[in-house]
A = this chain, B = another copy of it.
Amino acid sequence: MSKELTTREADYSQWYNDLVLKGGLADYSAVRGCMVIKPYGYALWENMRDQLDRMFKETGHVNAYFPLFIPKSFLSKEAAHVEGFAKECAVVTHYRLKNDPDGKGIVVDPEAKLEEELIVRPTSETIIWNTYKDWIQSYRDLPLQINQWANVVRWEMRTRLFLRTAEFLWQEGHTAHATAEEAIEETEKMLNVYASFVEEFMAVPVIRGVKTPNERFAGAVDTYCIEALMQDGKALQAGTSHFLGQNFAKAFEVQFLNKENKQEYVWATSWGVSTRLIGALIMAHSDDQGLVLPPRIAPFQVVIVPIYKGEGSKPVIDEKIGDIIKSLKALGIRVKYDNNDNTRPGWKFAEYELQGVPVRIAMGLRDLENNVVEVARRDTREKRSLAVDGIADQIKGLLEEIQANLFERAKSFRDNNIREANSWEEFVDLLDNKGGFISAHWDGTAETEEKIKEMTKATIRCIPLENKKEAGKCVLTGQPSDQRVLFARAY
Contact = CB atoms under 8 A, between A and B. Distances in A.
Contacts of A41: 64
Given A30-B74, A69-B167, A127-B30, A106 B82 contact: yes
A34 B127 CA distance: 12
A29 interface: yes
A213 interface: no
Interface centre among A63, A69, A150, A167 (most CB of B within 10 A): A69
Contacts of A71: 30-31
Interface string A466-477: 000000000000
A38 interface: yes
A90 B95 contact: yes
Given A68-B151, A90-B95, A75 B106 contact: yes
A42 B29 contact: no
A232 to B, nearest CB: 27
Interface in A138-164: 140, 146, 150-151, 153, 155
Contacts of A45: 65
Given A92-B92, A120-B92, A39 B66 contact: no
A332 interface: no
Given A76-B105, A140-B342, A34 B97 contact: no
Contacts of A428: none
Contacts of A167: 67-69
A118 interface: yes
Contact of A98 (B64, B87, B127): B87
Copies of this protein chain in the complex: 2
Interface centre among A67, A93, A150 (most CB of B within 10 A): A67
Interface string A413-450: 00000000000000000000000000000000000000
A404 interface: no
Contacts of A69: 31, 34, 90, 167
A95 B106 contact: no
Interface in A61-94: 62-76, 82, 86-94
A78 to B, nearest CB: 12
A140 B340 CA distance: 11
A43 interface: yes
A295 B185 CA distance: 36
Shortest 9 CB-CB distances between A and B: which pairs? Answer: A34-B67, A39-B62, A37-B65, A91-B94, A95-B155, A76-B105, A31-B67, A93-B93, A90-B92
